Amino acid sequence: MPGPGEYVPDATEGITRVEDLPKPKIIQRSRDFRRRPCPQCEHSSYRHRRAKRVLHDLGDLASGHPHDIHLTYSVHHCTKCDIYFNADMSDVALPRSHYTYRVVALAVRLVVEDGLPYQAASWHLWRDHRVFVPWATIQNWVEAGGKKGGGPHGGRLPRMGSGRVLRVHRGG
Ligand SMILES: [Zn+2]
């Protein structure tokens, strides 16, 4: 066990083939219910089927392994409205996203608060959090957030001081 402040080289340094990277640890999560209220009419709607999505989460730096959440969720059918809807999983990830909220939040913060270029933010996420996010994906997240926020800085936030402050995510 290395002591505090001891330099520990990244074990993945120099790896060029993605199949040589550490395999993700699979974490099973569930949002699977027999009945859920319809989002339109509140009618208690039975489960129609189960589905699954894979979400890349913040990994484990101690073991070096990425974390993938295999999220099983129920799809419900409202017989009154004749619509299908998923069990609520908005606490974990946005619809259609391949990453958990906390990965998105951390990536956006690295760029917006700490002023890291997209490539550097992508590398930071891999090196220190063991989650691989292409830098163009981070750019999409930041630009999507900027449109929503707007604000007096015209999308550009003031840089922090010269010393970069790495904020620890509050977890979830
Ligand atoms: Zn309904």
The predicted-structure confidence for 108-165, as pLDDT tens digits, reads as follows 999 999 999 999 999 999 999 999 999 999 999 999 986 544 444 433 444 443 333 4
Question: What's the gap between Cα 36 and its chain centre?
Answer: 25
Q: In this predicted structure, what is the pLDDT of residue 39?
A: 95
- d(CA 75, ligand 1 centre) in Å: 13
What are the backbone dihedrals phi and psi of residue 168, each rounded to the nearest 5 degrees, phi first?
A: -85, 130
- d(CA 41, ligand 1 centre) in Å: 4
Query: What is this structure's pTM?
Result: 0.74
Burial of 123 (0-12, 13-18, 19+ CB in 10 A): middle
pLDDT-based confidence at 169, cuts 50/70/90?
very low
Query: Could you report the per-residue pLDDT of 47-80, keeping only the tens digit for each?
Result: 999 999 999 999 988 888 999 999 999 999 999 9
- d(CA 87, ligand 1 centre) in Å: 14
Q: Which residue, chain included where needed, has tokens 């392994």?
A: 65
- d(CA 54, ligand 1 centre) in Å: 28
CB 110 within 8 A of CB 103: no
- d(CA 80, ligand 1 centre) in Å: 5
- d(CA 52, ligand 1 centre) in Å: 23
- d(CA 50, ligand 1 centre) in Å: 19
Q: In this predicted structure, what is the pLDDT of residue 148?
A: 47
- d(CA 77, ligand 1 centre) in Å: 8
- d(CA 46, ligand 1 centre) in Å: 11
Long-range own/partner contacts, residues 101-108 (CB < 8 A, 24 or more apart): 101/172, 102/57, 102/58, 102/169, 102/171, 102/172, 103/56, 103/57, 103/58, 103/129, 103/131, 103/133, 104/141, 105/169, 106/58, 106/169, 107/133, 107/138, 107/141, 107/142, 108/138, 108/141, 108/142, 108/145
- d(CA 71, ligand 1 centre) in Å: 24
Work out the average pLDDT over 76-93.
96
CB 35 within 8 A of CB 44: yes
- d(CA 48, ligand 1 centre) in Å: 14
* Rg, C-alpha atoms of the chain: 20
- d(CA 45, ligand 1 centre) in Å: 8
Angle in degrees, 0-180, between the axes of helices 101-112 and 135-149, rounded to the nearest 10: 80
